[in-house]
Structure 1
Amino acid sequence: MDLEGVRKIIEWLRGGAASHLSYAQVREQVLSLAREGMFQTYAIPDNLSIQRARWIKDKQWFTSVEELGPPSPGETIDYGRCHQPNRPLCYCSLNGDIALSEISAELGERYIISSYILPMGTIVVPVGELDHVRRTGETYIGHGNPNASEPYLQFLEEKNGVIGALIDAFFADEFSKPATTWTDYKITSALSDVLLNGDLSPRNPINAMIYPSVRFREGRNFAILPEFHKTRMQLDVQNTKVFRVTDVIGYGIFGSKAEAQLMSFDAEGKLKWQSLE
Structure 2
Amino acid sequence: MVNSPDLDFSKDGALGIIEQLRGGAKDRLSYELIYLIIGILVKASARQGVYRPYCMQNEISVVRARRLEKSGEWFQSLGDLGPLPRGQTIKYARCHRPGRSVGYCSLYMDIALAEVRAELGQQYAIATFKMPGSSIVIPVGEFDYFRRTMRTYLGEAVEQSAKIYSEILDREDWALIALFDAFLADEFIRPVETQTDYKVTSAMAEVLFHGGLKFPEPIDAIMYPSVAFREGTNFAIRSDSFQSKIKLVESETKIIEITDIFGYGIYNYRDLMRLKSVRSDGSLDWDAVCV
Q: Which residue of 2 aligns with 1:217?
A: 230
Q: Which residue of 2 aligns with 1:31?
A: 39
Counterparts of 1:195 and 1:5, CA distance in 2 = 23
Q: Which residue of 1 aligns with 2:26?
A: 18
The worse-fitting range, judged by mean Cα deviation, of 29-38 and 236-245 is 29-38
1:198–1:205 Cα contact (<8 Å) kept = no
Counterparts of 1:238 and 1:182, CA distance in 2 = 36
Counterparts of 1:72 and 1:275, CA distance in 2 = 28
Q: Which residue of 1 aligns with 2:13?
A: 5
1:45–1:142 Cα contact (<8 Å) kept = no
2:152–2:158 Cα contact (<8 Å) kept = no
What's the CA shift for 1:96?
Answer: 0.6
Counterparts of 1:158 and 1:43, CA distance in 2 = 26
Counterparts of 1:87 and 1:8, CA distance in 2 = 30
Q: Which residue of 1 aligns with 2:56?
A: 44
Q: Which residue of 2 aligns with 1:194?
A: 207
Q: Which AA in structure 2 matches 1:13?
A: L
Structure 2: 5+ residue runs without aligned partners?
A: 1-7
The worse-fitting range, judged by mean Cα deviation, of 154-163 and 222-231 is 154-163
1:43–1:123 Cα contact (<8 Å) kept = yes
Counterparts of 1:228 and 1:144, CA distance in 2 = 21
Q: Which residue of 2 aligns with 1:87?
A: 100
Pairwise CA RMSD = 1.4
Counterparts of 1:199 and 1:171, CA distance in 2 = 20
Are residues 1:268 and 2:276 paired?
A: no
TM-score where L is the length of structure 2 = 0.92
What's the CA shift for 1:31?
Answer: 1.2
Q: Which AA in structure 2 matches 1:271?
A: L
TM-score where L is the length of structure 1 = 0.96
The worse-fitting range, judged by mean Cα deviation, of 93-102 and 39-48 is 39-48
Structure 1: 5+ residue runs without aligned partners?
A: none
Of all paired residues, the percent bearing the same amino acid is: 42
Q: Measured at CA, do residues 148 and 15 of structure 1 come closer, stay the same or move farther in structure 2, by a change above 3 Å?
A: closer
What's the CA shift for 1:150?
Answer: 1.3
SS state at 1:106 partner: coil
Q: Which residue of 2 aligns with 1:252?
A: 265
Q: How many residues were matched structurally?
A: 277
Counterparts of 1:145 and 1:186, CA distance in 2 = 29
Alignment match of 2:220 (pick from 195, 207, 215)? 207
